[in-house]
Amino acid sequence: MNILGIESSCDETAAAVYTGNGLRSNVIASQAVHEQYGGVVPELASRAHHKTIWATVQQSLEEAGISLDRIDAVAVTQGPGLMGSLLVGLCFAKGLCLSRGFSLIGVNHMDAHIYANFIDDEPEYPFVSLTVSGGHTQLVHVLGPFDHILLGETRDDAAGEAFDKIGKILGLPYPAGPEIDKHAKGGDPQFHDFPQAMLDNRFEFSFSGLKTSVMYYLEDREDRESFLAEHLSDVCASVSRAITEVLVKKLENAIEHTGVHTVVLAGGVSANSMLRARARQMAGEKNCQLHIPRLAYCTDNAAMIAVTGYMMGQRGMYSDMNLKPYANLAESR
């Protein structure tokens, strides 16, 4: 099969081609318009998707060296995500399928983050996935292809959301997660002991209190500007440690609970250097195989949609033209 993957769940317009020989292309058109607002503006995001989606698909086909006539199915993000953005990708995919006779495959965005690990590798089932992104933080027990048990998730802010909100408090540009990671590399993780929430719960997460703690920590300082000028890297490293230690502790709990010997990281926050390092350390201590996607496949991209669509197509998991988008993960269950 030759699969065209389309991703438009948030502010990245992306297209990719995946075939029996593996990934052939992966094109991402980012939207710089949101930087001035410090976050994604849904209406602007959907407009930008509408303007760029056809050019992005064309580029992905050209880079793959495959004509549109050779595509067998279109895999498209069904949700979760911003409803307007999802509609652009889904309507475009349906139009292609109707006009060309392609099969349609609706893909769960969070599943796709997990199966991004299969682009370059093949984790052994069963495994536990720590899926951490801007909108979701989950622990998932993956028994087999598309056979999942949700062990736990965040009760409020996701890890990526916490990074972005704390970055805004620190005066960092959006998206702040990569900025915090960059500054943290030169800082002292032990500089300040920020709270690590819900360690008494095995699989659930909470990061809203950390954001509040950082805000109060800086509000109490009359020398805030000069303090951050001198210690920004230390604060970023301390924030990263607070989030990372919770994530790794919960992942360790999931390994012990399920008895698996394979773990994977997934989602945009899996690009965080401290998390990757601590996960490797923990996996070594637990004698587990650890799989982490390449950085290009951690954040939102169409390669993960295409490979997931390929795996679904192999199992006959096709969709019909009544396929509808869903904004919230709960709607997919």
Which of 134, 77, 136 has the alpha carbon at shortest distance from 108?
Answer: 77
Percent of the chain with pLDDT over 70: 98
User: Alpha-carbon distance 268 to 163, whole Å?
Assistant: 11
39 labelled as ligand-binding? no
Q: What is the torsion angle, in degrees rounded to the nearest 10, for the CA atoms of residue 40, residue 46, residue 52 and residue 57?
A: 100
Which of 79, 206, 211, 212 has the alpha carbon at shortest distance from 152?
Answer: 206
Q: Can you give the pLDDT at residue 239?
A: 98
Mean pLDDT score across all residues of the chain? 95
Domain 3-114+297-332: CATH superfamily, name plus number: ATPase, nucleotide binding domain (3.30.420.40)
Domain 123-292, CATH number (from 1.10.40.60, 1.10.645.10, 3.50.50.100, 3.30.420.40): 3.30.420.40
DSSP state of 327: S
231 labelled as ligand-binding? no
Q: Which stretch of DSSP H or E encloses residue 46? A: helix 42-64
133 labelled as ligand-binding? yes
Query: What are the pLDDT digits (tens) for 74-101?
Result: 999 999 999 999 999 999 999 999 999 9
99 labelled as ligand-binding? no
Calculate helix-pair angle for 176-184, 224-258, nearest 10 degrees. 100
Q: Can you give the pLDDT at residue 53?
A: 96
Which two tokens mark 49? 């998707």
131 labelled as ligand-binding? yes
Give start-end residues of each CATH 3.30.420.40 domain in the chain: 3-114+297-332, 123-292
Q: What are phi and psi of 232, to 5 degrees?
A: -55, -45
Placement of tokens 């698909």 in the chain? 57
Question: Looking at the predicted structure, is the pLDDT value of residue 169 above 90?
Answer: yes
Q: Is the dihedral of CA 249, 279, 111, 76 positive or negative?
A: positive
Are the C-beta atoms of 89 and 49 separated by less than 8 Å?
A: yes
User: Alpha-carbon distance 127 to 124, whole Å?
Assistant: 7
pLDDT band at 125 (very low <50, low <70, confident <90, very high): very high
273 labelled as ligand-binding? no
113 labelled as ligand-binding? yes
Lowest mean pLDDT among 19-28, 35-44, 133-142, 244-253: 35-44
